[in-house]
A and B are shown apart, each in its own frame.
Chain A
């Protein structure tokens, strides 16, 4: 029951967390910034509107974003928020979740291709390229986790006995994994320095360009999906990072929330102090992410056993 409440609160709060990022960026730019509830206003506004469909599109365009949203929602059910038992769990679920996200990506990509626009093809091509690199890095992270816990389930990684958490004494290589996960987070959610969600030139976009032709409620669904996806990755990272106070302690939840918000803030800071990379540098960045995870795995193999 606790888990369900936590799950629902987090889902409802996801747009708010994303707005924190915007606030941070505004602070760095010396602006007052938009209100914290801006994302909710946007969603309500979009849902009230109607949609414009391109005549080139087929039905795929109209169902793709729903399937993507469903995959993200299902993935979130597997996360043991603040160490509480998740709503769903089985041995092997981490691979299932990663592939489920790929399913969502598949439909995002083909919805983009459905419009027949050259820009959206460009974005789709880049997304396909970068995400396969990011995915391999994520698998390296899973391999490094295997030494702590010989199961392949997110719940058993992060639940209860503090197995995989940076504050545990023997887990000194885990910060490396944390950095690697943070970089994966930036890639998968198309944040700076991989992609700039605020850019205004179609040629330089990656994720934003793929959704150019969506409008109205469809766009609202896509926004919700992107908030939730960011929530998934930052919660995953939070579970690795947040300090715990023993089993079943109510401070765990507070600590979880604070860490989560800190991660959103650090994304905001990254976005404020960095410019995006040239596109041909992105693969190198991702290979570095992969190498970092590999390095952590090697250290864990050697010492932390």
Chain B
């Protein structure tokens, strides 16, 4: 426990130092980054070492009669702590060159303080052992992240996005708190204790309420609307933390409630799976339609959360059906994908931040050819893309493969489960294929080809401290992809916590493919080397000519003739037409000598549209009717207070 406290203390110092030193901008950044990264690194190493012993650490501090801080650190907690500290480590290093506007010194100082609070609050969320601690740290997490999102608060869009985020996070919190309320009513205890004895219908209610709440934090369809707003608005290292780590708190919450309830119900398993599948497919379809780089990545978070939830759903069904292998694969896949997603998604956000920082725009329509000037950012972004697409040799593949295994196990069960498994397998395949289309689009349009404007062609590589985290994370992606065995083991420590009765099995019984993948990956690299040698000999004595791209004999191509991201994705999105709404604006040619014509196409998110159209409009109408209560006359307001007091007096 000592190192645990020390880690938090160091991170907190890293957050407080900037207030003392903000007059000297670089000193402030150096000290803050140093302390926070040191603390985070210690956290990663500490949690990694502690994973081995199955001991559960329990701590309680009694701050007052009601406010008791209770922490409990089990293996699942440690696993999530690794994720939090790891991404925090890279993210804070990245911020050193990213937050480089010395005129905003005080704001940057505040940002470091909030950053450290965010990290600490997330640590407390995953280790909380009573309702009070959990709610308190959950609120701190939500609020600090809100303030971090509105770093550029001069921009109206940023404020609006922050506001949307705030609303969603608090609606989600309301659901979670109501679930806790029911829990308290039935157990009369504020501690997170085993709830297996309460009636099944109450269990279901608690699970549904908390699932909605945590899903809105995790960004599951249709509660994902805040993600595509908040991520682009936030600074990139904050997007990385939010998308890589903070939304995983929702996943943690779902797993936590699931274990606490000892809950076995097939219907919820199917429901969770269905939400995962829908979220996965629609997330990637919407991502395809985006040309704002960070918005696109935000939708990919929806997709990956969908994959994780699919894994959890498979695990829950497996648990119910007493199919051990299915449950094991489902949960392990989901947990490993949580780690993997946090790694490659932060990598991609770092890359996006680096690109946006240097080209000064967010739309990939304006980019092009960035790989030539920004080699490191481009190549690391490529690694991230390969990983998120789930291609072999990279980490995303490993967790997706495990979830595939789990889904295939479901084919051995009853017909309904077979059907669910088939849906899961096909949707995973579809998600993989669409993600490939989406990231070939991003890489092809933004990083390859010719620059589409001057800002892009003059873009320079980012500072070294922005590149180090990207290189580090790419190497981790490759390491997990090629040597998955150790990482599967780490994920298994987390999975063990989820099983109701402790289990004993050997990793090789189920995960013997991991060594084969290592060997085959190495063989693949060997084949690649041989091919490179062959290529070298083919070209050894020859002179290579350079000319412009073949355009059917046309000799003066311009950069505007390149294929655009909209046309690249259009036919695929049209395939999903009922789920994607098109908004096009086309000024027709109406004169003999036509003026400049314009065509504007936008894809709308159905969740956003229908939530606004049905729920928000309805609420608006309802509250419109209550407008008369708020009229501005202070003496009547005082009258309200009086009336309430009288009523309360009568009641109590």
* Contact B426 A140, beta carbon cutoff 8 Å: yes
Cβ–Cβ < 8 Å partners of B513 in chain A: 90-92
- For residue A257, give the distance in angstroms from its CB to the closest CB of chain B: 25
Is A233 on the interface with B (CB-CB < 8 A)? no
A185 to B478, alpha carbons, bound, how many Å? Answer: 31
Stretch at the interface among B331-339, B520-528, B597-605: B520-528
Is B586 on the interface with A (CB-CB < 8 A)? no
Interface string of B497-529 (1 = CB under 8 A from A): 000000000000000110011001001100110
Is B393 on the interface with A (CB-CB < 8 A)? yes
Q: A55-B548, A96-B401, A213-B550 are in contact. Are A106 and B391 (CB under 8 A)?
A: yes
* Contact A113 B563, beta carbon cutoff 8 Å: yes
Cβ–Cβ < 8 Å partners of B564 in chain A: 121
Among B432, B434, B444, which residue has the most Cβ atoms of chain A within 10 A? B444
A17 to B235, alpha carbons, bound, how many Å? Answer: 56
Residue from B392, B432, B448 in contact with A60 in the complex, judged by beta carbons closer than 8 Å: B448
A212 to B548, alpha carbons, bound, how many Å? Answer: 12
Is A99 on the interface with B (CB-CB < 8 A)? yes
A141 to B441, alpha carbons, bound, how many Å? Answer: 28
Is A232 on the interface with B (CB-CB < 8 A)? no
User: Residue on A with the closest CB to B433?
Assistant: A132
Within 8 A of B (CB), among A152-167: 152
* Contact A124 B572, beta carbon cutoff 8 Å: no
Among B542, B543, B550, B563, which residue has the most Cβ atoms of chain A within 10 A? B563
Interface string of B547-570 (1 = CB under 8 A from A): 111111000010101111001111
Is A269 on the interface with B (CB-CB < 8 A)? no
Is B443 on the interface with A (CB-CB < 8 A)? yes
A53 to B563, alpha carbons, bound, how many Å? Answer: 19
* Contact B405 A116, beta carbon cutoff 8 Å: no
Interface string of B411-438 (1 = CB under 8 A from A): 1100100100010011001101110110
Is A115 on the interface with B (CB-CB < 8 A)? yes
Within 8 A of A (CB), among B64-98: none
- For residue B214, give the distance in angstroms from its CB to the closest CB of chain A: 30
Cβ–Cβ < 8 Å partners of A55 in chain B: 546-549
Interface string of A42-62 (1 = CB under 8 A from B): 000001001111111111100
A120 to B551, alpha carbons, bound, how many Å? Answer: 9
* Contact B562 A117, beta carbon cutoff 8 Å: yes
Is B625 on the interface with A (CB-CB < 8 A)? no
* Contact B527 A109, beta carbon cutoff 8 Å: no
Within 8 A of B (CB), among A38-80: 47, 50-60, 63, 66-67, 69-71, 73-74, 77
Is A105 on the interface with B (CB-CB < 8 A)? yes
Stretch at the interface among B102-110, B128-136, B299-307, B532-540: B532-540
User: Residue on B with the closest CB to A301?
Assistant: B418
Is A146 on the interface with B (CB-CB < 8 A)? yes
Is A288 on the interface with B (CB-CB < 8 A)? no
* Contact A113 B551, beta carbon cutoff 8 Å: no
Cβ–Cβ < 8 Å partners of A277 in chain B: none
User: Residue on A with the closest CB to B563?
Assistant: A121
* Contact A118 B425, beta carbon cutoff 8 Å: no
> What secondary structure prevails in chain B residues at the interface with A?
helix
Q: A88-B520, A132-B436, A217-B535 are in contact. Are A56 and B391 (CB under 8 A)?
A: no
Is A172 on the interface with B (CB-CB < 8 A)? no
A216 to B540, alpha carbons, bound, how many Å? Answer: 13
Stretch at the interface among B43-51, B149-157, B198-206, B368-376: B368-376
Is A18 on the interface with B (CB-CB < 8 A)? no
* Contact A125 B568, beta carbon cutoff 8 Å: yes
* Contact B434 A114, beta carbon cutoff 8 Å: no
**A contact residues, total (Cβ < 8 Å):** 77
Is B408 on the interface with A (CB-CB < 8 A)? yes
Residue from A47, A50, A125, A213 in contact with B571 in the complex, judged by beta carbons closer than 8 Å: A125
Residue from B516, B524, B568 in contact with A90 in the complex, judged by beta carbons closer than 8 Å: B516
* Contact A99 B548, beta carbon cutoff 8 Å: no
Is A129 on the interface with B (CB-CB < 8 A)? yes
Q: A106-B436, A132-B437, A213-B550 are in contact. Are A143 and B422 (CB under 8 A)?
A: yes
Interface string of B433-474 (1 = CB under 8 A from A): 110110111011100111000000000000000000000000
Cβ–Cβ < 8 Å partners of B391 in chain A: 99-100, 102-103, 106
Is A246 on the interface with B (CB-CB < 8 A)? no
Is B545 on the interface with A (CB-CB < 8 A)? yes
* Contact A102 B436, beta carbon cutoff 8 Å: yes
Is A135 on the interface with B (CB-CB < 8 A)? yes
* Contact A217 B528, beta carbon cutoff 8 Å: no
Is B226 on the interface with A (CB-CB < 8 A)? no
* Contact A116 B450, beta carbon cutoff 8 Å: yes
Residue from A54, A73, A129 in contact with B549 in the complex, judged by beta carbons closer than 8 Å: A54
Cβ–Cβ < 8 Å partners of A102 in chain B: 389, 391, 432-433, 436
* Contact A56 B535, beta carbon cutoff 8 Å: no
- For residue B15, give the distance in angstroms from its CB to the closest CB of chain A: 41
Is B390 on the interface with A (CB-CB < 8 A)? yes
A207 to B571, alpha carbons, bound, how many Å? Answer: 17
- For residue B611, give the distance in angstroms from its CB to the closest CB of chain A: 28
* Contact B425 A106, beta carbon cutoff 8 Å: no
* Contact A135 B433, beta carbon cutoff 8 Å: yes
Cβ–Cβ < 8 Å partners of B386 in chain A: 103, 106
A112 to B412, alpha carbons, bound, how many Å? Answer: 42
A242 to B562, alpha carbons, bound, how many Å? Answer: 47
A169 to B432, alpha carbons, bound, how many Å? Answer: 36
Residue from B372, B437, B547 in contact with A129 in the complex, judged by beta carbons closer than 8 Å: B437
Interface string of A219-262 (1 = CB under 8 A from B): 01100000000000000000000000000000000000000000
* Contact A90 B449, beta carbon cutoff 8 Å: no
Cβ–Cβ < 8 Å partners of A264 in chain B: none
- For residue A177, give the distance in angstroms from its CB to the closest CB of chain B: 15
- For residue A123, give the distance in angstroms from its CB to the closest CB of chain B: 9
Is A139 on the interface with B (CB-CB < 8 A)? yes
Is B124 on the interface with A (CB-CB < 8 A)? no
A169 to B200, alpha carbons, bound, how many Å? Answer: 48
* Contact B433 A56, beta carbon cutoff 8 Å: no
* Contact B549 A139, beta carbon cutoff 8 Å: no
Is B544 on the interface with A (CB-CB < 8 A)? yes
- For residue B426, give the distance in angstroms from its CB to the closest CB of chain A: 6
* Contact B440 A113, beta carbon cutoff 8 Å: yes
A156 to B361, alpha carbons, bound, how many Å? Answer: 52
* Contact A58 B549, beta carbon cutoff 8 Å: no
Cβ–Cβ < 8 Å partners of B405 in chain A: 92, 152
- For residue A158, give the distance in angstroms from its CB to the closest CB of chain B: 18
Is A110 on the interface with B (CB-CB < 8 A)? yes
Cβ–Cβ < 8 Å partners of B426 in chain A: 136, 139-140, 143
* Contact B528 A114, beta carbon cutoff 8 Å: no
Among A57, A116, A143, A220, which residue has the most Cβ atoms of chain B within 10 A? A116
- For residue B355, give the distance in angstroms from its CB to the closest CB of chain A: 15
- For residue B538, give the distance in angstroms from its CB to the closest CB of chain A: 4
- For residue A184, give the distance in angstroms from its CB to the closest CB of chain B: 13
A131 to B434, alpha carbons, bound, how many Å? Answer: 10
Residue from B404, B412, B449, B512 in contact with A95 in the complex, judged by beta carbons closer than 8 Å: B404
A58 to B450, alpha carbons, bound, how many Å? Answer: 10
User: Residue on A with the closest CB to B385?
Assistant: A106
Q: A103-B386, A143-B422 are in contact. Are A136 and B430 (CB under 8 A)?
A: yes
* Contact A70 B527, beta carbon cutoff 8 Å: yes
* Contact B550 A283, beta carbon cutoff 8 Å: no
11 contacts between A and B (CB under 8 A): A60-B448, A90-B513, A99-B392, A117-B551, A117-B563, A118-B562, A120-B563, A124-B563, A125-B563, A129-B572, A132-B433
Top 10 A-B pairs, shortest CB-CB distance: A121-B563, A113-B444, A132-B433, A116-B449, A90-B516, A128-B437, A217-B538, A50-B542, A109-B440, A139-B429
Q: A67-B528, A92-B513, A113-B440 are in contact. List 9 more A-B contacts (CB 8 A).
A: A54-B547, A106-B386, A117-B557, A125-B563, A132-B434, A143-B425, A143-B426, A217-B539, A221-B535
A-side residues, CB < 8 A to B, are: 47, 50-60, 63, 66-67, 69-71, 73-74, 77, 88, 90-93, 95-96, 99-100, 102-103, 105-106, 109-110, 112-122, 124-126, 128-129, 131-133, 135-136, 138-140, 142-143, 146-147, 150, 152, 202, 212-213, 216-218, 220-221, 283, 297, 301
